[in-house]
Structure 1
Amino acid sequence: MTPYDMIKAHLSTAVPFATYVGVDLLDISDGQASAELQQRDETSNHIQSMHAAAMFALGEAASGAAVAGALAPVILEMRPVAATADIKFLKVAKGKLTAQARTSRPGGELMQAIKDDGKVAFDVTVDITDAAGDSVVGMTVNWYVSPQR
């Protein structure tokens, strides 16, 4: 089992809300992650499309997985916190959605910043697409990471 597989298994149980919503982590690597969410009655809104909160949960989960992937060698010693998020709903979303997340800086650079400064803040961009491949949500999450206390 690779470190990324271990992170994926851990995150699948460590964030109960994402699990409750139905977010499924697909892939994690150095600074990148993908996740999907299938629309169900519980994730739908009054116009039978995906609820905004469900899409936010999908994007935030993918961004957190990208953070964990970037910091894989030290992630168990870190305290990552989503500081801010900006989300743009681009198109009505229905069916299965897939989120692709990427850190703004490579993992090695982030770990060096933590070593040098004791903390780091950086963005993760997320593109959420529908089954046709159309972008339905654009999202940026700013993460603050410091060692656990």
Structure 2
Amino acid sequence: MSADQMSVGELLAATVPMVRTLELEFLETTADRAVLRLPDREAHHNHIGGPHAGAMFTLAESASGAVVLAAFGGLLDRAVPLAVTAEIAYRKLAMGEVTATATLGRPVADIVAELDGGGRPEFPVRVTIERADGAVTGEMTIVWTLRPKS
């Protein structure tokens, strides 16, 4: 299967080893939103039996990457998406499986217009991490850029 025929989840699983290591599940990927789930596995637990903070960070970062790839995958021949900064806040105890929902913080058309105008656009992706009962356990903001290829 070529990269053009792969889903966003398949592409990330094929190219990002941590996606495979954590067995992340891609529930939804669109140009506006991505939803990923971290299954409850003992190998991913911390000292209190919930998902390790690093696993939750990777889940959220992967969700942000999925929405970025879904939104800008058609531009990969001329721009490379790169994470610039990431900030995470752990809000409540996470136990069991957790789900991350990522959304773009700027309209796709505005970002593409900035790239087309010769700029290197930056844009936030906001991610909410929730337990199965809907409680928000974490929030993350990742600033991404589209670096034009030389």
The residue type paired with residue 35 of structure 2 is S
The equivalent residue for 2:83 is: 82
The equivalent residue for 1:52 is: 53
The equivalent residue for 1:39 is: 40
Counterparts of 1:1-149 in structure 2, within 5 Å, are 6-149=7-150
CA distance in 2, matches of 1:8, 1:59: 14
Deviates more, 1:116-125 or 1:88-97: 116-125
The residue type paired with residue 83 of structure 2 is A
Q: TM-score, normalised by structure 1?
A: 0.90
CA RMSD of aligned residues (A): 1.7
The residue type paired with residue 68 of structure 1 is L
The answer to whether the Cα contact below 8 Å between 1:4 and 1:69 also exists between their aligned partners in 2 is no
Show CA shifts across 1:86-131 (max 9, x none).
1000111011111100011122221111111332111100001000
Query: Taking every aligned residue pair, what percent have the same amino acid on both sides?
Result: 32
| Aligned length, in residue pairs | 147
Q: TM-score, normalised by structure 2?
A: 0.90
Where structure 2 has 5 or more consecutive residues not aligned to the other structure, the ranges are none
Where structure 1 has 5 or more consecutive residues not aligned to the other structure, the ranges are none
CA distance in 2, matches of 1:43, 1:18: 13
Say which SS state the counterpart of residue 110 (structure 1) adopts: helix
Deviation at 1:76, TM superposition (A): 4.7
Deviation at 1:35, TM superposition (A): 0.4
**Which one has the bigger helix percentage?**
1
Go from structure 1 to structure 2 and tell me whether the alpha carbon gap of 1:61 and 1:48 turns closer, same or farther (over 3 Å shift): same
CA distance in 1, matches of 2:50, 2:100: 17
